[in-house]
Every structure is written in structure tokens, then in C-alpha cells.
Amino acid sequence: MTAPDLISPASAAFSRRRFLEASAVLAGALGLPEAATNEAAAQQKPAGGTPPNPPGRPHPLDPLTTEEIVRAVEIVRKTRQVDDTWRFVTITLAEPHKPAMKTFQPGGRISRAAFVIAIDRTKGQAYEGTVDLIKGSLERFDPLAAGLQPAITLDEFAECEEAIKKSPEFLAALKKRGATDVQLVMVDPWSAGTYGTELAADNGKRLSRALAWVRTEANDNGYARPLDGVVAVVDLNKMEVVRVEDYGVIPLPPEAGNWYRSYQKEFREAPQPLDIVQPKGPSFAVDGYEVAWQKWKFRIGFTPREGLVLHNISYTDAGRERPIIYRAAICEMVVPYGDPAERHYRKNAFDIGEYGIGMFANSLEMGCDCLGTIRYFDARMNDSKGQPVTIKNAVCVHEEDVGILWKHTDWRTNQSETRRSRRLSVSFVATVGNYEYGFFWYLYQDGNIQCEVKLTGIMHTTTVAPNEKPEFGNLVAPQLNAPFHEHIFAARLDMAVDGDENSIYEVNTVSLPAGSSNPYGNAFRAEQTLLAKESEAQRSVNGASARYWRIVNPNKKNRIGEPVSYRLIPGENAPPFVRLDAAVMRRAGFIAHQLWVTPYDPQQRYAAGDYPNQHPTGDGLPKYVTADRNLVNTDLVLWYVFGHNHVPRLEDWPVMPVATLGFQLKPDGFFERNPALDLPPAEKG
């Protein structure tokens, strides 16, 4: 990710990275030239147009530079005699451990290292290692345990489709279904997972269970016509089709589902222009990857796996910079589908752990994805040959007006005050096959922090026979079924509420029973319970008791003598509807509860473990908490799990309107009073 460039609406050069078409060459798909939307825009400075690597020593939390990626690959190749048959899955910053960062001073020297995951395709063996970029040495390079597979790479997407289209078995399956032009077939290489039903011959192989759709012409929406019943199982190391599973021919759905503008026959009257203008520039300041805005300060990071990461979130109160969160990211997600049919039951994608959602980041466009005066950050990662890859404008930072922040009118004195609320938005959008996921972090002037995930794109589809009504989905067009499914996300929040020593309480509002303490039946109160160890801190949301959780610092008191704290408040949520003994729960055990709390451990970064792809037994939170560690007055990590239950509608086809879900962190006794009381009145226009 490069240092950012400030883009105004008048001077933006629009660019867009489209999702990788599996038949395209990866380098071309990720390195698309910027496309100016008009002659004037083409003459302007491109978004993210700062030098590739800003001068000076990188901050320890800055993403790797292009030169550092190249250097890490060179060191691995030289030290381990790695040739071109290997794949480099990940080359990313090996973040310094928290204790080292706590003593770091600007301008100081600290270890700078790269974390590398690579696969020896010839031997079918994956490795993870650490490269010391200052010493120029490979500090470790360890083989992964048997059965563990790194995430599927973008190169493998393209190569997998190419291999499938050459398979005689696959071509025969197409012919049975009347699909004669293989070039109109599109393939999504889904992860293979583990379900206890695998063939012995598949053991140890790096697999994909690829699904296919067919277009009627080059720009057609292929998801309107699933080649249902055809699953190509591919060995990704050998890039060979192991077998094609054919579950029977179902006629293709008859209707197109095209959504692109050229297919739209007529448009409604366009709304009048809405200009967001900041003639004096934005209210935020950027120094490298550090952003300061309205008493807030934080650092932006980006990883191929998680995408956007926020570091060192703090708020300046009465001249003192007070920490709130050390590190925040969406660390895992899973999309379980509810159809038990033989050809469908393995569909539950871990889009973060099995693919790496950062690698699918879009190049955001001014006026479409973002409005206003924007700071963009580029993301710098690698392809599987170890070559640097740049996704321009991957992260967007801008301000938004969000209505009233606070207001009161005193009808006796005629005093009236209103303050409008402005928030800072930090976001990125990823396209994973058919779906788009937008990840937004908002900071508010009153100390609130909000995380919002936006879901849009095209639903996964299957085919049903004519006149058949699906049992585990809804028809969205004739013979076209959109299965019931969930999108379940896990946020990892490394908390630091006024310091690292925190405790966690659950708060439930309860009605008092009838009696002397509640003679009129109207009494209720909020009751809080300390969650003292990991076994006590596996909790679920409960709307009936308005449940939330308080992260307190017992060592810091506010002016009424209570510990300072922040509340974690659930937003939209739904429990998992797969049974707890379902095969997918071996890898997605984190979805069994909406709240987990663990002590800080730098090795515990992901809710489903480091390598959920084909993991034979499962890993992550259910294993982390078996130690039942102390959670009182210690360095805490909160894992909040939130899900959207998608029962498809006709209105969701062919492109679904945005659905949103998320959570909030709100100050609770952290400040002495409303921290936005000092916000000056707006100039009346």
C-alpha cells in the first residue's frame, strides 16, 4: 500500500480494477491501466499517484513496500533454492509484537520483517517463514503440518479454469447439457473443504471443487444459467482435473439476468447533481499511513488476507491521547449454504481464510464508490510468482455528513443549539466471485466507533427443473434458485481501553418480579456480570435483554469513581442455522457464539485458525479458549461474530441492493461528559 494522494472531485482520474476473469492472465487482470472517464480527467494526476515508496524509514506497522516484497522473495529463493515451480501465496508484513511497539518512539529502529507462505508444488508441501529485511536473512522456513493448505491464489483461479476447459470429461458434461461453446463457460474454483466424506485418493491433495455457469454471449451474466450438477475436482498443485462429478442433467434456466448498463432498455429520470464540496480541503490530515481527524488518530494497514486493518486507534481528551483499540480487523468470514443435496452441501466458503479478501480489493472510483474529497491508499501485494502487484485506490478515507449529532431548544429562554454529525469513513470493497463485500469503519465526533459490512453483488445460483419449487431456496427467475445462506463475519478487536489492562462485563436489562421492590410493575434495571475467564466469555446476543458488553479499565476511574469503559453494542445479527454437529462446524466453530474473549496472544490472529482451507480437524477460537485463561485486568482481545441471514427475494436479482450489518463501540464513562459539546456551531448558510 503506498502513501496516499488527495483527490478532489474536480481533479479525479477514475480507475477500476475489475474482478479477475478466470480465463485472463493474472498480471493483466491486476495491472489494468487506469481508464480516464473523460479527456479532462485523463490529464489529471492519477489517484494514489504518489511515489511507490515514500522516502524515509517505514514505520514498523507500515505495509511492505514494493522493494521489500522483492527483497523478501530474493532472500527466500536464494536461501532455499526456490524455483519457478513454487507458488508464493503470501508476502506480508510480520507485525512487531505489541510489547515492542509499546516502547517504540518515532524515528526509532525496530525489526522489519516479512511473513511468507509458499508452496513447493512438486512435493505438494507448503511452508511458512519469516524474512528479516534488515539483516537480509531467512530466520525460519517451516513446513506446514500434514493436511494443512494455504489459501487459494488468484493465479490458481485462472489456471484452474483453463485446465477444466481442456478436460474431456468436462467437455462431455457440457455436451450433454447443450452447451457447445466452452469459451462461454465461466468457472468459480470453490474451496474443497473437509466433511468426513472425502475419497481416500484425495488425501493430501490441494483441491478445488469448481462450479460452472454458461453465458449466451461474451458479456452475458453467466450466473443466470448454472451448469448445475457438474462439479470439477481439480488438483491445484498439478493443475489437473481429478474427476468430474455429474449429478444429472437439469435444463438451463431460460431467462437472461443481465444487469450492465448496456442491457438496460430505459432509465428513470436522473436525480439532480449532489455535490459534496470542501473548498478549504478535508478536516483530516495524513502523515504516511497515520490519519488524524477531530481528536482521533490511527494508522492504516492492509493485508492480503484481512484487507483493511486499523492500528493504534486513540482519542485526544483534555490534551491527553487516550488509547482505545490497538488493532482492529475483520479476521474471518464464512458463508454456509443450507441445501443438503449431494452436489450442494459442501458449499461454505471462508472468503478470508480460504482465499484472502484483501487480494480481491477493488480499485475504488470517485463518484461511484466514494464521494467528496478523498484520500486513497494503494495496496501492494504479490502474485504467486512472487512479483509485486499493485491495486490502486484500494482504501478510501473521506468525511461524511450524517445528520444531527446533538440538539436542544429551551422554549423558556429561546436558546437553541444544534450540532451536525460528521464521521470519518475508512473503507475498502472486495469482489469475491459473485459477491461484493464493502468493509467500512466509521469514527464519530462523540467518540463512537462503528463497523459496517455492506453486501451486494450477485447471489450464488442453482438450477431447478421446470415447475419445481425449491425446498432450500427461493426462485428468483424461472428455474433459477437462490439458495438460503448466511454471511457470518468475525471481527478481532485487540482492545486497549485507556491502557492494556482491561476486564469484560456483560450487561443485561431485566424486569423486576412483582413484589415490594416493584409494586407497580414498571421497575427494570441493568445488571452486569464479570466474565472472569474464557469459559465464561463465550456468549450470544440477546435482544430480549438488550444485551451488550462493557470493556472496562479497572485501573482508571472517571469523575464519579467508576472504571472507564467502552460498550460493544450488537447490530443486526443472526445465529448460525447449521446444526452444531454439522461438518462445517469443525472449521467454523467460531460461529457457535457471537462473543468470545481471549487474552492477547500474538499467535492467535484468526477466528478459524491460520489455515482453514481443507483443515482436517479445525482450529481457531474453540481451541484457543480451552486453556480457560484469566480475563480480569489483563490485555484482552474481543472477537465479535455477526451474521446476515439471507432468504433471497425477487428484488435481490439480478444484482442485490446493499444489505448492511455490523456493530458499534460507544464510550461508557470513558469521558467526563458529552465529548462533542465543544464542537463549534456550524456557519449558517
Q: List, by residue number, the catalytic residues.
A: 351, 435
Residues in CB range of 260: below 8 A, 6 or more apart:
219, 221
- For helices 168-176 and 154-165, give the axis angle rounded to 10 degrees: 70
Give the span between the Cα atoms of 614 and 235, in whole angstroms. 13
Burial class (CB in 10 A: 0-12, 13-18, 19+), 453: buried
Are 212 and 183 spatial neighbours (Cβ–Cβ below 8 Å)? no
Q: What's the rounded Cα separation, in Å, for the pair 29 and 21?
A: 7
Give Cα 59 distance to the centre of its chain.
24
What whole-number distance in Å separates Cα of residue 312 and Cα of residue 509?
Answer: 32
Quick check: helix, strand or coil at residue 564? strand
> What does the block give as the cell for 194?
473437509
Contact 63, 380 (CB under 8 A): yes
Long-range own/partner contacts, residues 135-141 (CB < 8 A, 24 or more apart): 136/71, 136/75, 137/75, 137/79, 138/75, 138/76, 138/79, 138/80, 139/113, 141/76, 141/79, 141/80, 141/116
DSSP state of 162: H
Q: How many residues does the chain have?
A: 685
Q: DSSP letter for 354, please.
A: I
- The number of angstroms, rounded, from the C-alpha of 327 to the middle of its chain's C-alpha atoms is 14
CA separation, residue 391 to residues 2, 28, 311 (Å): 10, 12, 21
Q: What are phi and psi for residue 360, nearest 5 degrees? A: -100, 15
